[in-house]
């Protein structure tokens, strides 16, 4: 009998994952990860992880499976939290959920499961796994979940073949309503529990408040750049006709104070991200202001009016060589080649058509349609049909 350790978060998805595996004849062990809890940066008095841990334990008792909790808060702080602060300080937008899967669930947690002589680990992610023998070797494929509304393959975009070989995703073939229905039928206390919002570790803390604990507020200018500013004309020329310059088409505009007028003040450029509309608290413009760039060195935020402002859109992006990751190493593109893929640059964004160009300095991604709010630090992910082929950090 194969043994599988299920990462039980105290939510309905992982509860049903554990139940399904037991039904399929696996020997199932439930394990709760206490990821990170630092009272100095938790604002609310609520203690979400304690409540979640109890829910996970009750579900395990209900299913008649052994249960234990593992404290990963030290590794969590080092690998995720410190990285996040560092990235925000540099004016980039990290994705802690992607990192959590790569660094914690499918690394430290996986190693803990292997110590328990487990054959697999399982999570409550809405995605699927397939395998195919290619050139005599088993190749593992990461596929989108059946529920288009909930597909979470994006968050697993940094997994390796080795990690995938040991992973099971029991609810990938189900939709969220079906998962809740199963939980109700078997009387699990998590059946109607709300989905956890926010970062995978700070529970009930909102991001700006969280960042303010470590990154000091400092006042700076908010500058509005007009939509007809000359640099946008130059950008259009770079990608027109046969003048196909990858570096020009993907390069970010460097703004200066002279490019617009001061329209207000902010509390720290490192709290804000490209594409953000809320949180500036500056009114009086015909259309709402969107953030088109943050300059954390000089502590300036650049904004533009309306969601069609040209400063919000770019035709392409670059992933530096060191940041390219192939879930399917057998499909790695050689330097000098190009290929069409479906791409998303943030979770829940509809897939967009793009051509990938593999060059010496990295991977250029040129979209059929300009993309809104491409944020450095986020992950761009490419698919062939419903299979996730690779990912990388936007430079």
Catalytic residues: 100, 200
CB atoms inside a 10 Å sphere around CB 25 = 9
**Buried/exposed code over 169-183 (b: 16+ C-beta within 10 A; e: otherwise):** bbbbebbbeebbebb
Task: Give me 138's structure tokens.
Answer: 């088993």
* 8-state DSSP, 78: I
As given in the structure block, the two tokens for residue 261 are: 């007028």
Token representation of residue 353: 């058509």
- Among candidate residues 31, 66, 24, the one with its CA nearest the CA of residue 173: 24
**How far is residue 8's CA from residue 92's CA, in Å, rounded to a whole number?**
31
Smallest Cα–Cα separation from 353: which of 371, 372, 373, 368?
368
Would strands 362-372 and 379-384 be described as parallel, antiparallel, or unpaired? Answer: unpaired
- The candidate with the shortest Cα–Cα distance to 380, out of 334, 341, 333, 337, is 341
Residues sharing a CB contact under 8 Å with residue 288, sequence separation 6 or more, in sequence order: 277, 305, 306, 307
Helix (H) or strand (E) holding 33: strand 27-34
Report helix, strand and coil shares of the chain as percent, to nearest 5: 30, 30, 40
């Amino acid at each position: 009998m194969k043994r599988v350790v299920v990462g039980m978060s105290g939510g309905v998805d992982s509860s049903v994952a554990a139940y399904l595996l037991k039904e399929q004849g696996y020997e199932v062990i439930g394990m709760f990860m206490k990821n990170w809890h630092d009272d100095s940066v938790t604002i609310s008095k609520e203690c979400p992880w304690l409540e979640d841990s109890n829910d996970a334990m009750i579900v395990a008792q209900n299913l008649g499976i052994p249960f234990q909790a593992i404290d990963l808060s030290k590794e969590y702080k080092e690998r995720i939290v410190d990285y996040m602060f560092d990235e925000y300080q540099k004016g980039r937008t990290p994705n802690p959920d992607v990192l959590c899967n790569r660094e914690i669930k499918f690394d430290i947690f996986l190693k803990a499961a292997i110590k328990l002589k487990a054959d697999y680990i399982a999570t409550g992610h809405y995605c699927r796994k397939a395998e195919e023998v290619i050139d005599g070797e088993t190749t593992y494929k990461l596929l989108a979940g059946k529920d288009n509304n909930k597909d979470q393959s994006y968050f697993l975009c940094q997994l390796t073949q080795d990690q995938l070989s040991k992973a099971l995703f029991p609810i990938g073939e189900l939709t969220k309503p079906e998962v809740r229905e199963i939980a109700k039928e078997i009387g699990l206390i998590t059946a109607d529990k709300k989905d956890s919002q926010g970062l995978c570790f700070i529970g009930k803390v909102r991001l700006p408040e969280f960042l303010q604990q470590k990154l000091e507020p400092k006042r700076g200018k908010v500058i509005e750049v007009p939509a007809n500013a000359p640099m946008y004309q130059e950008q259009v020329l770079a990608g027109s006709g046969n003048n196909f310059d990858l570096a020009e088409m993907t390069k970010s505009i460097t703004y200066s104070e002279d490019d617009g007028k001061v329209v207000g003040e902010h509390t720290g450029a490192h709290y804000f991200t490209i594409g953000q509309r809320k949180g500036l608290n500056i009114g009086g413009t015909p259309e709402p202001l969107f953030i088109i760039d943050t300059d954390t060195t000089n502590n300036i935020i650049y904004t533009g009016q309306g969601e069609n402002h040209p400063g919000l859109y770019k035709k392409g992006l670059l992933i530096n060589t060191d940041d390219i990751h192939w879930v399917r190493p057998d499909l790695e593109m050689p330097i000098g080649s190009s290929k069409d893929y479906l791409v998303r640059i943030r979770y829940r964004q509809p897939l967009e058509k793009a051509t990938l160009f593999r060059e010496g300095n990295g991977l250029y991604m040129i979209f059929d349609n300009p993309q809104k709010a491409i944020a450095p630090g986020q992950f761009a992910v490419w698919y062939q049909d419903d299979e996730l082929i690779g990912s990388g950090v936007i430079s």
